[in-house]
Each structure stands twice: as C-alpha cells, then as structure tokens.
Structure 1
Amino acid sequence: MARATREYGDWPLKRLMTEVVGSGHKSADDMNREQARDAFQRILDGEPDHTTLGAFWLANRWKRNTPEELAAFVDVMREESVEVAAPEADPVDCGANYDGKGRSAILGVAAGVVAAAAGTPVVVHSGDRVPTQKQDAYKHVLDELGVMTDPSPRESAEMVDEVGFGFYYQPAFNPGVTDLFERRDAMGVRTFVNTMETLANPADAAVHLGSFYHLAFAKRMIRTFQACESQTVERALFFQGMEGYDDIRPGSTVVAEWPSEDPEADDENIFDFEIRTSEYGVDLESADLEVDDVAADSAEITEAVVAGETTDWFDDDDAFEDAVALNAALRMYAREDVPSLDEGMEQARAVVADGSAADVLADLKDF
C-alpha cells in the first residue's frame, strides 16, 4: 500500500512506460536519475498497479538498464529499505545472486571461513528461495551447518567482528525488497531487482566481490558502483561464477578488476583477466563440483574441507579442497591481503592444515 504522506515526482510507472522505456528493446529510451529514483520509490511503496509494475519490469529487462539507472535504484533501496550495520572490521562483501544454485556445490561458506582464518574478514548475504529460481543460497547451506541465519543486522556485524565471517539475512536488513516477493514471483523471469539486491552492501564494505554472466555486464556493475551516491565502494572484482554464483568455474574464468594498476586497463581503470584453474593446480571440470542436494551436500563438503578431512565426496584429486582454496584466495586478493592468487592458496592450505579454519567454523556455529 502506498504511503499516504509520500510526495512523488512527475514520473509514475505508466508514464515512464508510455514516454520512456516501453517502446521496445531497440527504440526505448533510458531513464535519467530522477526518473529512476521516482520509479523505485513508488515500487517500494507498492504504489503501481500490478499490471503496470510487471510491464515496467519486463520493459527494463528488454531495454537493459544503464549504470545510472541501476545506481539510482540502489540508492533508493539503501536509503529507504536497507538497514546498514557496519562491523569494525572492513570485510569483503560477497554479492552472489540470491536465487541460488541448483546443480553444483556452494563453496562460498567454506571459502569465506578459510579466508577469515587467514585474516580476511568476509560478509555474505542472501534471502530465502528468492524468485525466480528459488534455489539454494548461502542461507540454506548455513542452515544445514546449524549456523544462526536470522540475525538482526547488528548481530550480523557482531558475527563478522567476533568470527571473521558474517551472514546478513535479507528479510532482516532489506525488508522493502523482501516485500516484493509475490510480485517478483508472479513475473516468471528475473528483473532488475535480482541485480540490485546483490549490491545492497549491508555491512557498508569498501570491497565488493560479485559474479556475472558475461564481461560487459561485469563492467556495467562496476560503473553502477561508481555512480552510486549512497555508498562508497573503493574496489570491486566481478567474475564469471559457476551458475552465476560467486564460485569460480573450472577451466577458464574471466575476472573484471577495478581499480587496476595494469597498463592495459581501460579508460575507466577496469582490467579484465582470466583465471585458468589448471594453472593453480585445480585440475577439474564443472561436473566434478555437481551434487545431488545443494544445501546439505555443500554443508557436508564445507565441514570436511575446513577440517582437512577426506569423505566420500573426494576422489584422488581433492577437487573440492582445491576449489575452496582458490575461491578463498580470490577473497584475499580482492581485499589486497595477498599480492597473488598463488600466495592466497598457500595461506588457505596453511590455515586448513593448522586447524585455524576449523576453529572459525566452530566459532561460527557457536555464535
């Protein structure tokens, strides 16, 4: 229901459809910041007719949103819906797609725990069965591990400071977007909300690690952060994650890094490079990371990897151990705690071997 006291701008969604975004994916115009802000304020308030809202979301999907539009949406979300609770630590904010994975293990909990044990604090966040896929996400792996998954934002921040790894739960820190669940579910396809919710940054971190489906989208996400007025992200890495999640895919993974000191960086100081997993001793294929039950199996794998134990999940090449070490190294590299992925992997293996990673996981369960 719309707020009775709200004063909107001059751009209801129906007018935006008629005059700006609704003429088709080749002829539609882009919104300016004022128009985009007005649109998302109305959406958060439940003001638009449901048919108009669905048409608006679909028109934006066809048109493809600009960084300025996305930044305006994110700014309104953070100003009017997100409750930020910043820990004293300055963690890496991991923004995986909230609608989850359906075939392969989620390695981010294990990777985050290992990175935390090596001195790189990590924050993850997710909702619960978010449209459209409504598959397993961070929350569901943590549920299987017995970790508290409904903390208040302040408790999430305390978790980061006490453990080194923290989970923020979308219904607790971003209720306005959570309230859009039914409307999003009725769409049947992803909307720009799926993109912007991963940029909520509830811990107000200076470093963001996110995932993308193609390089052009990664650069668009970096430009979105550059255009945001509600937060200051000083460094961002986006990589071509497995199933769109924040797990490095086997074989070759493209990464966009900003800012970069590489002389081959583009005019916006964005540099893209490839991670060839075989060059880091991670010799596996995507099928090696597939599981039957994503949440339960990912939790079992997490416990085994951080403890340095062998279970029925592992064959002779220690596929999951290697994959977790590389993903942990990327988190360390994102925060510039290590100069290279090679050194990050060395540290990852060391904290598993000496029991530090297992201690972090135990502390996380006890929090």
Structure 2
Amino acid sequence: MSHAFRTLLRKVGSGPHTSQDLTREESAAATRMMLLQEATPAQIGAFMIAHRIKRPTGTELAGMLDAYDELGPKLQSIGDRPVFILNAPYDGRDRTLPLSLVTALILLAADLPVIQHGGDIMPTKEGVPLVTLWAGLGVDWSRLSLSQVQDVLERTGMGFVYMPAHFPLAQALVEYRDQIGKRPPFATLELIWSPYAGQSHVVVGFVHPPTEGMAQAAFVLRNTPLYTTVKGLEGSCDLPRERTAILGFSTPLPDSLERLHLHPYDYGMGGKNVPLTSPAAAVEAMLQVLQGKPSELRESVLWNAGFYLWRGGKAETLTEAIALAGQLLDQGSAWQALTRLRQATSAPCPV
C-alpha cells in the first residue's frame, strides 16, 4: 500500500464537510501514482469515486495535466501554426452523428492542422469512439506507432493519439470506470488534454457549465494561450443546429472568457442534429458528404466546419467561412485530404 497516496485519498475522501481540495502539486502526485500503479487498486478506485463526488477543481485538473505531460505521449511540433486539438469524450457517442471527422478533413483542405485523441469502446457510456469511424473511412489509427503518427502528422497535417497503443499507463485505468460505474475526473481531463508539444488551439466540449469553468481555471494556471469552449453535442466540440451554440474564447486577460452565442437560424443553418443509427450508416453518410452530395449531415458539417474555419482565421466572417466549407467539399479538396490520409496511414514509414 502507498502511504503517500493514502494521505491524498484522505483529503478528497473525507466527506462533504471535511474533504479538502488538493494543491496542484498534490494532484499531480496522485495522478502520477495512479498511472504508475504505485497506488493499490483499492486506493485507485476509492480515489476516483471520492474525487468525482467532491468534484475536481481547476487547480487539481492543472496538476493532473502536469502528470500527463510528464508521463504521457506527445506529438512534436510541425511548425509555428497552432494545431487544432479537437477533443471529444473518450466514451463515445450514442445519439448524434459526430461531425469532427469531416470537419477535420475540411480544415486540412484549408491548411489548418488537426489532432484528435481517444480510445476504444469505453465505460460508462460505451458509445461509438472516433477511432472506429476513422477506420470506416479507411484511416486506421490503431495500427500505428506514435512515431508513425508523427510522420502522418508531418505529411498530412492530421494526427490521432490512440490511448491503448500510445498511452498504456492511462489505458490501464480504464477498467476502473466500469467497476465504479461513473465517469471519473479523468474523463474531464481528457476533454482538455493536448498531446502536442507545439502551439495548439485546444477545443473543449462540455455539457455542464461547471466543466467549462474548471477547464478555464486549469488553462489559466498552465498559461494556455489559445482555447475555445463549446457547449456541444454530447459533450463534444460539435456545434448543435437545433439550439443556440454557446461558445467561449480565450482572451489576453488571464481570468476573462469572451462569450459568444451563435444562433444557427441567423445563418440559414438551423435544423435537426443528425442521429447516429450505426457506425456503418454514419460512415456512409460522411462519405456522401465528402462526395458533395446534399443531405442534412452536409448542413451540420457546414455549420460546424464553417465555425472552425472562421476561428482558424480562414475567413473574415462566419458567413464567408460557411461558404468556404462548401467550396472545399464541392471542389473535392476535403476528399483529397481523406485520400492523402488513407495513403499515409496504409503505408506508414517504418518505426
């Protein structure tokens, strides 16, 4: 048993009246001991559920990110341009069709690099993970080493950090999610993590407003200069079409968040979010969009990709950015980006 870990466990697990928040250094130490399995299984499970009940603070999340930076994988810088980190809940989607895959291809076509990360089917939601949908599009990230992903990133502008292969220390903690039956704070950590050593534009999806506040506090402590928060579909960074998109932008003032409400009907983009019926149907729908065919999914993609093209500085106005997204689809540029990704991942450079 780790006596050092027990001390930290007692702080977060003493109940609603006597539990205490960890310092950044203590949170980093606790995360490090869990990742390295220096804490016992009983201690890890107890910490996860106690930390969820207490709720993590921005300071604690900053410490957890410090430990991830120390022990986790990092793709190396590919230049001075900020890379979009399109984060998504690791336990997947089960109601709405993910937009971030086609969005990423449109961003690549506009010369905006993108990194995603995630794992396989995961508790507690056990929804469809992004890596499954990428494989359906002919891009199998699961078979690549981290150095091969680095090569693909350098060649195409796209990378994917796959937790089972690239971060086995974190993968070893996944089984605890099933055993405790709840998302632990690691699930929040994954929404704000950037596995990239260069300049990044971190996009954080959230459902509950406190998550956004915790993320902002962690970014301020870690001097993260560029980030966007999105009250998105199922906690992802996909903008909704049936309601106002609630967004937050980082500002030069450390404790300030620029708030933006985007009404899709103001841009002719209102409608229903496309349901996720099956991975195969989702892949087929995405391929049709990439081939320039009209559909409800195309409208959702235009709304989502247009926002990120605008946020990435590729258009002066959101209206112009939405039009640019349509051009990149209709001209086949996004399809060409997929073709390059297929070629780069099917014949990767040797390890």
Q: Does structure 2 conserve the Cα–Cα contact (< 8 Å) formed by 1:281 and 1:322? A: no
Query: What corresponds to 2:176 in structure 1?
Result: 183
Kept in 1: contact 2:192–2:203 (CA 8 A): no
Paired position in structure 2 for 1:274: 261
Which of 1, 8, 29 is residue 16 of structure 1 equivalent to? 8
Task: Find the aligned partners of 2:17 and 2:258 in 1 and give their Cα distance.
Answer: 29
Q: Distance in 2 between matches of 1:153 and 1:32?
A: 32
1:155-304 matched pairs, under 5 angstroms: 155-204=148-197, 205-228=199-222, 233-250=224-241, 251-259=243-251, 268-286=255-273, 289-293=274-278, 295-304=279-288
> Which TM-score applies when normalising by structure 2?
0.90
- For residues 34-113 of structure 1, what are the structure 2 equivalents within 5 Å? 34-88=25-79, 90-113=82-105
Give yes or no for the alignment of 1:345 onto 2:332: no
- Whether contact under 8 Å (2:75, 2:150) holds in the other structure is no
Alpha-carbon contact 2:188-2:211 (below 8 Å) kept: no
What amino acid is the match of 1:215? Answer: P
Bigger Cα displacement from structure 2, 150-159 vs 178-187: 150-159
Partner SS, residue 357 of structure 1: helix
Q: Which amino acid aligns with 2:256?
A: N
Q: CA offsets per residue over residues 18-39 of structure 1, 9 Å max, x none? A: 3x21122454211112221221
* Structure 2: gaps of 5 or more residues: 345-351
Corresponding residue of 1:115: 107
Asked whether the equivalents of residues 220 and 254 of structure 2 are also in contact (C-alpha less than 8 Å), the reply is no
**CA–CA separation in structure 2 for the residues paired with 1:48 and 1:119:** 44
Q: Provide the identity percentage.
A: 24
Deviation at 1:143, TM superposition (A): 1.1
Secondary structure (helix, strand or coil) at the match of 2:73 reads coil
Cα deviation, residue 81, structure 1: 2.5
Deviation at 1:142, TM superposition (A): 0.6
Distance 1:158 1:340, change over 3 A: farther
Residue of structure 2 aligned with 1:321, choices 298, 304, 308: 298
**Are the equivalent residues in 1 in contact too, given 2:74–2:196 (CA < 8 A)?**
no
RMSD over aligned Cα atoms: 2.1
Alpha carbons 2:61, 2:214 under 8 Å: kept? no
Displacement of 1:167: 2.2
Q: Show structure 1 runs of 4+ deviating over 6 A.
A: none
In structure 2, the residue matched to 1:335 is 312
Tell me: CA distance 1:161–1:331, structure 2 relative to 1, closer, same or farther (3 Å): farther
Q: State the AA in 1 paired with 2:214.
A: R
For these two proteins, the number of residue pairs brought into alignment is 340
Match of 1:5 in 2: none
Go from structure 1 to structure 2 and tell me whether the alpha carbon gap of 1:226 and 1:336 turns closer, same or farther (over 3 Å shift).
Answer: farther
Deviation at 1:196? 1.3
Which residue is 1:153 aligned to?
A: 146
Kindly tell me: are residues 152 and 337 of structure 1, through their superposed partners in 2, closer, same or farther at Cα, counting changes over 3 Å?
farther
Q: State the SS of the aligned residue for 2:141.
A: coil
Q: Secondary structure at the match of 1:12?
A: helix
Task: Assess, with a 3 A threshold, how the Cα gap between structure 1 residues 253 and 354 changes in structure 2: closer, same or farther.
Answer: same
1:124 maps to what in 2?
116
Measure the CA separation in 1 of the matches of 2:321 and 2:209.
24
Q: Give 1:263's aligned residue.
A: none
Alpha carbons of 1:197 and 1:291: their partners in 2 closer, same or farther (altered >3 Å)? closer
- Which secondary structure state, in structure 2, belongs to the residue aligned with residue 129 of structure 1? coil
